[in-house]
Amino acid sequence: MIRTLFAASLLAAATPAAAQHADHTGHTGHMGHAMPASDAAPSCTPEHAAMGHCKPAPAAAAPVRPAVDPSCPPEHAAMGHCEPTAPSSSGAVPTPPAPPSAGPSAAASSGPEYAADGVWGADVMAPVRKAVYTEHGAFRGSKLLIDRLEHRSVDGRDGYAWEGEGWYGGDYDRLWVKTEGEGGFGGAIESAEVQALWSRAIGPWFNLQTGLRYDFRPRPDRAHLAMGVQGLAPYWFEVDVAAFLSDRGDLTARLEAEYDQRITNRLILQPSAEIELSAQNVPSVGISAGLSTIEAGLRLRYEVVPEFAPYLGLEYERAFGKTADSRRADGEKADSLAFVIGLRAWF
C-alpha cells in the first residue's frame, strides 16, 4: 500500500502534468493543508486568505461554506475548550480534550538528582556541571560609548564638547561610568563632570543608577550623590532622568531624551533634549531655582559601521530666569545656537 503510494507520488513528481488527486493519505492540496478529495474548489476562509493560502471569492460573495465551525474556532478547539463539528472530509480531526495540567509524579523525582554522577562519579561531574550551568546565561561584558565628541561653532567662537559612557558587568548589575563637558578653544574648560554609578536592572528596559557625580568644572568643584533611571521608554526614546544632591546640600535634576530616526539603515537623524532643574539658587555656579537650562540638539550621523559614525548637527541652548540673568551679567547671551561636527563611536 505504502509502496504503491510512494511510487505514485514519484510518478507524479516526474510528470507534473499528471492530475494529482489530493488524497490525504499522501498529498496535500495547494493550500498547504490536507484537502478533501471531493472538494475541487475549497472554500477560502478569512484566516486562510489572510495567510495568502488562497484567494477569497469575490468580495460580494459569501464564503462557500465555513470550513471551521464558527461556534468553535480552531484556537479554542486546540485548547480543548470545545469540539468543532468539522466537515467530515477535512484533514483536521476533532481534537480530543487536552490532558489536565499537572506536576510530575513522585516517581519522577525518585533516584539520584544527577544521573551522570552514577556513571562518571560525582567528584568528576560536579565542577563541570557548575561551569556548564553557569556558562548558559552568565554574561560579563563591557561597552564604551563616545556618544558625542564634537567641534562647536557659536557666533564665530569655536569650542568643543564631549559626552560618553561606559559599562562593565552582567545582565542585571553593571558599573556604569558617564562623563560630559564642554569648553572653548584657547579658553578654560567650562564644565566637566564624571559619574560612577551602580546600575541595577529594574525592568525589561530600565536601570536604576545610583552613585557619585564629581564636577571638576565649573569651580568651585563639587561632589554629588546621584540617583537616576536610565533606559528605553515607549516609542524607542532613550531617556535618562537623574537627581543630584551636592556636598553643599543643593538639589538639582537633569532630564535627557533622545530618539534615533532612521532615514536609511546608515543615515540616522537624532533629535535630543536636555533639561536642567534646580530646587534652589546656587549662586556659586550661576544657577537659580527652577528651570535653569534647556538644550535641544539635532544630529545627522552616518554609520560607516554601527560602531563608527561621523555627524553634523545643531545644538541650541537657552538659560532661563536668574540663570539667564547671571549669564548676561557675565557678558554672555542667554541663548546660543551652535553648529556641530563630530564623531560617535563605541566598542
Partner 1 sequence: MTHMTMRRRGVLRAGAAGLLGLGVQSIFPAWAHSGSHGLRAELPTLTGQDIRLRIAHDMFKVGGRAGHAITINGVLPAPLIRLREGQNVRLHVENALDEDTSIHWHGLILPFHMDGVPGISFPGIKPGTTFTYEFPVKQSGTYWYHSHSGLQEQIGHYGPLVIDPAGAEPAPYDREHVIVLSDWTFLHPHQVMVKLKQKGGYFNRQKQTLLDGTMTAAERANWGRMRMDPADIADVNGSTYSFLINGHGPAENWTGLFRPGERVRLRFINASAMTIFNIRIPGLPMTVVQADGQHVRPVETDEFQISVAETYDVIVTPTADQAFALIAETIDRSGMARATLAPRLGMVAPVPALRPRPTLSMRDMGMGGMDMGGGGTCAPEHAAMGHCTPGQPAAAMQHSMRDKASVPASVDVGVGVDMIAPMPVDRTGDRPLGLEKEPHRVLTYHDLAPLVPFHDTRPPARSVDIHLTGNMERFMWSLDGRKMNEGAEPIRFERNERVRVNLINNSMMNHPIHIHGHFFELVTGQAHGHPVKHTVNVMPGGKASFDLTADAPGDWAFHCHLLYHMHAGMMNVVKVRPLDDGGAA
As given in the structure block, the three cell numbers for residue 123 are 567528584
85 vs 69: CA distance, rounded Å: 6
CB of 335 to partner 1, least distance (A): 30
Please tell me whether residue 47 adopts helix, strand or coil conformation.
helix
Looking at this protein, which amino acid is placed at residue 184?
G
Interacting residue with partner 1 among 37, 87, 91, 314 (CB under 8 A): 91
When the beta carbons of 219 and 262 are compared against partner 1, the nearer one is 262
By CB under 8 A, the residues from 31 to 70 that bind partner 1 are: 32-34, 46-47, 49-53, 56, 59-60
Q: Look up cell 480531526; give the residue.
A: 93
> Quick one: which of 272, 304, 232, 244 has its CA closest to 148?
272
When the beta carbons of 194 and 239 are compared against partner 1, the nearer one is 239
Interacting residue with partner 1 among 66, 81, 131, 153 (CB under 8 A): 131
How many residues form the binding site for partner 1 (CB under 8 A)? Answer: 95
Interacting residue with partner 1 among 9, 191, 246, 336 (CB under 8 A): 9
As given in the structure block, the three cell numbers for residue 134 are 553557569
Contact (CB, 8 A) for 197 and 209: yes
| Distances, alpha carbon 176 to alpha carbons 201, 214, 272, in Å | 12, 14, 21
By CB under 8 A, the residues from 104 to 123 that bind partner 1 are: 104-105, 107-120
By the rule CB under 8 A, 95 interacts with partner 1: yes
Interacting residue with partner 1 among 21, 143, 219, 248 (CB under 8 A): 143
By CB under 8 A, the residues from 315 to 334 that bind partner 1 are: none
342 pairs with which residues across the strands?
150, 311
How many CB atoms sit inside 10 A of residue 174's CB? 22
When the beta carbons of 2 and 188 are compared against partner 1, the nearer one is 2
By CB under 8 A, the residues from 186 to 245 that bind partner 1 are: 201-205, 232, 234-236
Report the Cα–Cα distance between both ends of the chain, in Å, rounded: 63
> Quick one: which of 322, 256, 255, 264 has its CA closest to 288?
322
CB of 6 to partner 1, least distance (A): 5
Contact (CB, 8 A) for 270 and 261: yes
By the rule CB under 8 A, 101 interacts with partner 1: yes
By the rule CB under 8 A, 173 interacts with partner 1: no
When the beta carbons of 26 and 184 are compared against partner 1, the nearer one is 26
| Binding segment (CB under 8 A) for partner 1, from list 11-19, 177-185, 246-254, 310-318 | 11-19
How many CB atoms sit inside 10 A of residue 330's CB? 8
When the beta carbons of 120 and 339 are compared against partner 1, the nearer one is 120
Interacting residue with partner 1 among 19, 41, 93, 188 (CB under 8 A): 93
| H or E stretch at 328 | helix 321-329
By the rule CB under 8 A, 185 interacts with partner 1: no
315 vs 272: CA distance, rounded Å: 9
Interacting residue with partner 1 among 19, 40, 102, 188 (CB under 8 A): 102
Contact (CB, 8 A) for 198 and 223: no
By the rule CB under 8 A, 30 interacts with partner 1: yes
Contact (CB, 8 A) for 38 and 89: yes
CB of 217 to partner 1, least distance (A): 31
As given in the structure block, the three cell numbers for residue 285 are 555656579
CB of 55 to partner 1, least distance (A): 8
By CB under 8 A, the residues from 265 to 294 that bind partner 1 are: 265
Interacting residue with partner 1 among 4, 14, 38, 188 (CB under 8 A): 14
Burial of 258 from C-beta contacts in 10 A (0-12 / 13-18 / 19+): middle
Interacting residue with partner 1 among 71, 153, 261, 284 (CB under 8 A): 261
